[in-house]
Structure 1
Amino acid sequence: MAAIEILGLEKTYTVGFWRKKPKQALKPLHLKVEDGEIFGFLGPNGAGKTTTLKLLMGLVFPTAGTARILGMAIDDPRMKAQIGFLPEQPYFYDYLTAGELLHYYGQLSGVDAKLRPHRVNEVLNLVGLPDVGGVQLRKFSKGMLQRVGIAQAILHNPKLVFFDEPMSGLDPMGRREVRDLMEQLKHEGKTVFFSTHILSDAEALCDRVAIIHRGELRGVGAVAELTSSVHGHVEMVWQGAVVPASLRALGADCHVTGDTVRAVLPEDKQDTAIEVLRRERLRLISVTPVRASLEDYFVQKLQPTEALAGARP
């Protein structure tokens, strides 16, 4: 059984002064997330990631289509008890302490009253906040509040966790801890579905990813599978601090260091480039294939519309 099955889910809002102008935030989406995998939902700001999550959470109603989570309809209360959710911008009452807030969420989530104190301390340790249970949230940094949000999402030990931009506001060490936590959740047999625009995190972490842009699904699959479809490049190194103009015309990105040149160019231009070097009597040192990254695939799928600025931290 798939953990998440999305069947033609779409959402159209009405905008404008008289709310008569339709704006399609999500085009018909078909997507399946398998049980026990870490699934990344990628796209630039405004792509439709948060809209999709709100639809799955039942926070907004779909214009058309449906979805099933853990084999149950998205409006089934039994399903809600088995999932955790971290919104993109969580808001907490800042006069509460971290412990008080989590005790409150534990009560809402049905965590046994006798087990609640132990579970609160356990999740605070998991998110790297072992000594702040008695500290008011108004004294927390943005990154610390994000960790508290993650703690409330996993407090009731859900089978499936949804994270909307979970790395937001975290420093490099904090992001690493969240990645480790996601891997631990997977090790425990849970499914993790998270949206992000930080491609390096998704590439390092996800079993599979989906890319959405302007409300439309552009690609889905394992990272290795997706990147293998990207037009390849090679890195060529030669001796002699000379860059023939005909090489630049082939689209080569050249860098001179001392008496050697390092150039990256499309794989299908390799033979022509070697012939240029032979003709110019330049000694070729090496030719190395360049592995395509998830960012390369992402940019290819978004072109010619737009690329994601700052996709890598």
Structure 2
Amino acid sequence: MTPRAEAAGRLLAELPPAPAAWCSGLRKRYRRRLAVDDVSFAVGRGEVVGLLGPNGAGKTTVIKILLGLVRPDAGEVLLLGRPARDPRARARVGYLPELFRYQPWLTAAEVLRLHVRLAGVAVPDGERRECLAAVGLADRAGDRVGGFSKGMQQRLGLAVALVARPDLVVLDEPTSALDPIGRADVRDLLLSLRDRQVAVLLNSHLIGEVERVCDRVVILDKGRVAASGTLAELLGGREVRLRLSEVSAAAEARLAAAGRLIRTGDEFAVELPAGHDPAQGPDTVPDLVADLVALGVRVHAVEPGRISLEERLLDILRTGPGGDHR
């Protein structure tokens, strides 16, 4: 090998791996309806990314474009560094669609065996049994799918998405038919995938679950990216809620100076700036309360809190893409 080739090899070895999923400028129109318009985002290796938005926002269409099931009118897609329509890339992707059906005459074990063959990989019987155990179906491996409840079929769908050892898992509403225990199981499963450096793209209406497991969130509205970022970036700073009386105009101005202010009667919610620690810095909550008392305000309660993802999502959707979400 020549010195130049050796240097190029070292450079390639030092480069980080390509994102598990990457798309840029996706656009898709169905007749007169523009379903997806200039959507761009990436899912890094070992990252859990949540795809959020109201019904009809374009989430499922984006997922189908990423997987090569729908051809976009414009834009580019790479899966694991390869074009999305490349079979070598799609073979390393696990997918749980929102609506699916398996052959009712097959057992759960036979469904997994079939999908392993379709993926073109070799997965030992023991590993397939472990996959069923991971989704809570260890004792139902020999039962026919036709007798499964909707929740059990959902668990089987998760097993199908995971059985071929994918590097990227795309889950479209994976907990829609599950009870609270099932949702907790899925949450633990997603965290274990992240620990194994498996990337996950999660589309779910259960915002609380997304907030618990996702590293980043992409919010779609009317086919466009309304906001995206880490949870810390999207949720901004922390919040302090106060119950006050005898609030003068000067006191209300002091509250507004500390952060975005929302007043409901005698309840005041102050959203502190991003990165702000309520216990440190020049504008701490104790300083705020002391200033309010000095201005003649009666302080009845002070409660620290944090903006929830649901609150931020509603704020973003109501404000609209490109608006002021802070």
Q: TM-score, normalised by structure 2?
A: 0.78
Tell me which protein shows more helix as a share of its residues: 2
- CA RMSD, 1 decimal: 2.9
Residues 143-152 or 98-107, more deviating: 98-107
Identity within the alignment, %: 38
* Unmatched 5+ stretches in structure 1: 15-21, 255-260, 306-313
Does residue 294 of structure 2 align to residue 294 of structure 1? no
Which of 11, 15, 27 in structure 2 is aligned with 1:10? 27
Which of 217, 224, 227 in structure 1 is aligned with 2:235? 227
How much does 1:153 deviate? 0.6
How much does 1:235 deviate? 1.5
Describe the SS at the equivalent of 2:307: coil
Q: 1:183 to 1:273 in 2, by over 3 A?
A: closer
* Unmatched 5+ stretches in structure 2: 1-17, 252-260, 273-284, 321-326
Describe the SS at the equivalent of 2:139: coil
Which of 44, 55, 60 in structure 1 is aligned with 2:65? 55
Does residue 208 of structure 2 align to residue 200 of structure 1? yes
CA distance in 2 between partners of 1:105 and 1:251 (Å):
53
* Aligned position for 2:98: 88
Paired residue total: 282
Q: Is the 8 A contact 2:79 2:90 kept in 1?
A: no
Does residue 85 of structure 2 align to residue 70 of structure 1? no
Q: TM-score, normalised by structure 1?
A: 0.81
Q: 1:272 to 1:177 in 2, by over 3 A?
A: closer
* Aligned position for 2:10: none
Does residue 261 of structure 2 align to residue 253 of structure 1? no
Describe the SS at the equivalent of 1:173: helix
Runs of 4+ off more than 4 Å: 270-279
The amino acid that maps onto 1:236 is L
CA distance in 2 between partners of 1:72 and 1:276 (Å):
59
How much does 1:285 deviate? 3.6
* Aligned position for 1:310: none
CA distance in 1 between partners of 2:26 and 2:298 (Å):
58
* Aligned position for 1:30: 40
Which of 113, 136, 142 in structure 2 is aligned with 1:103? 113
Alignment of structure 1 residues 83-162 onto 2, 5 Å:
83-112=93-122, 115-162=123-170
CA distance in 1 between partners of 2:135 and 2:216 (Å):
24
Deviations 1:201-249 (A, max 9, x none): 1111011111011101011111011111x7x7531235xxx899x99xx
CA distance in 1 between partners of 2:311 and 2:220 (Å):
15
Deviations 1:137-160 (A, max 9, x none): 121111110110000011110111
